[in-house]
Amino acid sequence: MERINILLFENFETLDVFGPVEAFGMTGAFDIHFVSLPGGIVVNKHGVRIETEKAEPCPDGIWLIPGGGGTRPLARDEEFIAALKELVKDAAYILTVCTGTALLGRTGLLDQKDATSNKLSFAWVQSCGEQVKWHREARWVRDGNIYTSAGVSAGTDMALGFIADRLGQQAAEEAARRMEYHWNTDADHDIF
């Protein structure tokens, strides 16, 4: 099983995390871990409390970075950004949802790469990665081992796209069917 580290922080967006987690969980192919920089309880914007492990570098692991209101202060937190870069720089894959892309953008790891983000916060996210090749119209974007998605529900579409790339289209379609989820399969077009 491939390990997926879901990086949590205060005020993360609920669906950014649990949509992809549901998709990954449906496959039975991923070992899902909720992590945070300090470890312990993390509370999101809806009051959801999650017990996390202390984040450690995981070479060849998979990282998912969600968005949400908590990304705004973290994008200005140089210690957090340096720690994030150290955690994910050797990852097999990095997936970001919504404004989580701003955090990755601030590390410099997205420089000269194609990416997208939440359309309602697009200008702010762009300001966190001025050397990134931004795609406003995309639902999700893959550039090498990095996947970025538009806002909130787009993370589930991206996760299913990632599953299709790793395990095959049939595995992704079966996960979506079991979730009773209408998968927006067109990565290049975000209706929002």
pLDDT tens sequence for the chain (192 residues): 999 999 999 999 999 999 999 999 999 999 999 999 999 999 998 999 999 999 999 988 999 999 999 999 999 999 999 999 999 999 999 999 999 999 999 999 999 999 999 999 999 999 999 999 999 999 999 999 999 999 999 999 999 999 999 999 999 999 999 999 999 999 999 988
* 35 lies in some domain: yes
Supply the range of the domain harboring residue 17: 2-179
Whole-prediction pTM: 0.97
If 0-12 CB within 10 Å is exposed, 13-18 middle and 19+ buried, where does residue 170 land?
exposed
Token pair recorded at residue 39? 């470890």
* Residue at 146 is within a domain: yes
Cα dihedral: 26, 64, 98, 101 (round 10) = -160
> For residue 59, what pLDDT is reported?
87
- Residue 174's CATH number: 3.40.50.880
The answer to whether residue 186 is domain-embedded is no
Residue 187: inside a domain, yes or no?
A: no
Look at the chain and report how many structural domains it folds into: 1
Q: Is residue 191 part of a domain?
A: no
The verdict on residue 12 lying in a domain is yes
User: Is residue 185 included in any domain, yes or no?
Assistant: no
